[in-house]
Structure 1
C-alpha cells in the first residue's frame, strides 16, 4: 500500500513543497523514517503512535516506510489528500494545532523547507533603521558582513547543504568617538595618548565599508554656548514634512527612491548642471573617489536638491554632497 501527502518546510523565509511518501510492506511492525530529516522528523514516529492510540485507530500491521515526514494512512481514502497541503502540528491526542509560518505557507505552498537559518538584526531591521553605536567596537567580521547587505539589500546565509536569502534593505546609522578614549581633538578633554589613538581606533573601519556609507559627518562637542542658543526655526514636524515631500517627488518619477537608483536612472535623474558636473569631476580626481563613491555623491546631491524642492541639481548641492 502506498500513499502520499503534501506539506511544506522552510528555508529562511521561503516555503518549499515537500511530498510525504508512505509505503506499507511486510515484515516486523515498525515505523521507519528515511531521508535526512531533522530531530523533529525523527521524533515524529512516537507522536504518530500516540496520536493513533488517542483517536482509537490501530497502526496497520507491517513495516511502514516514511520518506521525510510522518503521514497517517488507512483512516482516509488514498486520494483524500490530493490537492491539499498539510501544515499543522500533530498532538499526542490526535489533535491538529496551528503551526508558526502559516502565512508564508499559504502564499507559497509549492515551495519551502530545509534546515532553518534565523535572520539577524540586519534583516529584522528591513525597511527600517539599524543604529550601531560605537561602531569600531564591533568585530571586524561583523562589520565586513554589512558590506553585502548595504550594497544589495539582501543578506545571504550559506550553510553546508543550502543557501538562505533574507531581505535587508535598511537605513544604517552609526556613531563613534574620535578615539577609544572618547576625547580626541585638542584643548580641554583631548586624548592624552595623542593622534595615534585616533588613527588606530578609526582604522578598525575598512575602506570598503566606509565607501558604502553615504553621509559621514564630524560632529564637534557641544559647548555651553551651544546649549544657550535658541531652538532652530525648523522643528522635527516641519523637517519630517519636508522629507515626505522629497520622497513623494522621488516616487513620482517612477524609478524609485534615490537610494536604489541604478546607473541608467541615476544619469537620467541626478545629472548635475554644468558647474556642478565640473565640481564633481574635480572632487573625484582630488579625493580619489571610487566609482561607488562617485555615484553615491550623485545620489546624495539629488536628495539634497529634492529636500530643497529643486528640479535641477545645481553646484551648491553637489558641493554639500561631496
Structure 2
C-alpha cells in the first residue's frame, strides 16, 4: 500500500500542492526520500525516526520509500517532517488514511516528537480553505492559520496529541485567531521643531502614497521626518493586513508563541535597510528566493537613508518594482513574484561632506563634488520620485521654540479623510484595478480625475516645456495635484494645486 499525505511547496506567496507518497516494501531495510529534496528535507529521515522512537514505535524492518510528487519541483524546508511521519503511521496502519486525506499537513518534528513552528502556514491555510480541506500544523502556528477561514484546524504541540486525536477520542480544539494589539508608541511629528515645509510635503506624501526624496545637510531632521511617517498613515485594512501577513509568513517573520495566538498587525510596515544591503536582500532572492525588504514593506514604507551610498545595482533594481508594485525573482527553473506595493521615502546629503550650501563648511571640491555625488542616482530612478524637498539645517532659534501645536493625530485625521475620498472614487471608476491611492492611478482614469482647469493646464504645459519633463514626470505632477485637491476636499484640480505640485518637482539632478 502507498499512503498519500497532502502538503505544499512555495513559489513566492503562492502554494503548490505536493503529494507525499510513503511505501513500505520488502527488501533490505532502508529509508529513502526522493523528489528533489534539499538538505533539510533529506534530514527528515533522522528526525522522523527519532520522533517515532520517542513514542515507543520502531520503524518496520522494510524498505521505506518516500516520494515527494511532483518529482521535478524543488522541495525546501523542514515542514515536510510531519507529512512524512503521518504517511509512515498510515502505512503502518496506526492512523486512518481516509481521515488524513481530509487535511493538508505541515510541521517540523523534534527528536522527542514535539512540533516546532514552520514558515508559510498562513498561505497554506488559505490554500487549504479554498480546496475545502482542513489543516494540520504546529500549535505555535495555530493562531496564524486561524485567520484563513472557518475550516478545520488541528494544531498539536506533540505528535502523540495528534495520534490521540485520531485514535483515542482526545479531540484537539480549534485555535483562535487573536489580533496583535501593538503597545509601541510611534514617533510623533510634535517632536520636530521647524521644518514646516518638509512636514507639509510629508503630509502630502502620506495622503497620496507618493514617493519622496529629502535632501539636506546632516542633522537637519530627514531621518526624524521619515520615521514619523507611519504615525500619520491610515491603518491597514483587513485585505492589506492579510497580504502583508502572507509575505511575513513565507519569510518566517510572523510571531509564534505557545498560546495559540496569531499575529495580525494593522500598523503599516516601515523598513529601513542599511545602505550596504545587497540586491537579493533589497529586492528578494538568495538561495531560497526569500522576499526582500521591498516586499516586507508591502503596503507600507521603504525608507532608504543616505540614498547615493547604496550600491548602483541595488538602486537600479528598484526601478521595476516601484513601477509595477511587484518584485520578480528570476531563476533558471522558476520565476517567483512577490507583492511590492511600497511608498519609497529617501534621504540624502547634497554632497559627500553634506555642506554644499554652506560656503564656510563646504569642502574644497564644492560645487563639483555635489554634482558627482548626486549623479550616483540615475535619471530613471529620480524620475520615479513624485516629491522632492529641500530640508535646510535647523537653527538654534527653532530649537528653543515651544513644541508645535499639531501632533501626528491631527495630521493623520486629514490624511485619512483624503484617503477615504480616493478609495471611494477609485472603487467607482476602476473597481478592477485594485488601486488604493492617487500615486497608483494611471491612464485614462488619471486624465479624467486629475484634469486641471484651463489656467492650470496652461501652467502645467509651460512648466513641462521649461523643465523638460518626461511623460512620467508630467503625470506625477498631476497625481500630486490631485492629492492636494483631495486634502482640501475639492472636486477639481485647480491652478494653485498645479503650482504647488510643480514646486515639488525637479527636472534633473543639480550639477
TM-score over 0.5 (shorter chain): yes
Distance (Å, rounded) in 2 between the aligned partners of 1:22 and 1:237: 58
Distance (Å, rounded) in 2 between the aligned partners of 1:206 and 1:84: 51
Structure with larger Rg: 1
* 1:37 paired residue number: 37
* 2:2 paired residue number: 2
> What does 1:157-172 correspond to in 2, within 5 Å?
157-172=329-344
Among 108, 125, 150, the alignment partner of 2:322 is: 150
Among 197, 200, 222, the alignment partner of 2:369 is: 197
5+ residue gaps, structure 2:
69-79, 132-245, 251-286, 428-435, 503-511
* 2:474 paired residue number: 294
* Inter-CA distance 317–56: structure 2 relative to 1 (3 Å threshold): same
Distance (Å, rounded) in 2 between the aligned partners of 1:198 and 1:141: 21
Distance (Å, rounded) in 2 between the aligned partners of 1:261 and 1:197: 37
Among 206, 214, 222, the alignment partner of 2:386 is: 214
* 1:310 paired residue number: 490
Q: Which moved more, 1:297-306 or 1:249-258?
A: 249-258
1:204, distance to aligned residue in structure 2 (A)? 0.4
- Cα pair 2:10 2:16 within 8 Å, conserved: yes
1:189, distance to aligned residue in structure 2 (A)? 2.1
> What does 1:145-294 correspond to in 2, within 5 Å?
145-224=317-396, 236-255=408-427, 256-294=436-474
Distance (Å, rounded) in 1 between the aligned partners of 2:467 and 2:382: 14
Distance (Å, rounded) in 1 between the aligned partners of 2:304 and 2:475: 25
Secondary structure of residue in 2 paired with 1:173: strand
1:308, distance to aligned residue in structure 2 (A)? 2.4
* RMSD across aligned positions (CA): 2.6
CA deviations on 1:171-205 (whole Å, 9 max, x unpaired) are 21111111101110253323321221001100100
CA deviations on 1:108-165 (whole Å, 9 max, x unpaired) are 137999x732222222222222222211011111111221221122222223332322
- Cα pair 1:11 1:116 within 8 Å, conserved: no
Distance (Å, rounded) in 2 between the aligned partners of 1:233 and 1:90: 56
* 2:109 paired residue number: 90
Q: Which moved more, 1:225-234 or 1:18-27?
A: 225-234
Instruction: Tell me the matched-pair count.
Output: 321
Distance (Å, rounded) in 1 between the aligned partners of 2:107 and 2:409: 47
Secondary structure of residue in 2 paired with 1:289: coil
5+ residue gaps, structure 1:
none
* Inter-CA distance 107–43: structure 2 relative to 1 (3 Å threshold): same
Secondary structure of residue in 2 paired with 1:108: helix
Distance (Å, rounded) in 2 between the aligned partners of 1:104 and 1:186: 54
Distance (Å, rounded) in 1 between the aligned partners of 2:336 and 2:361: 48
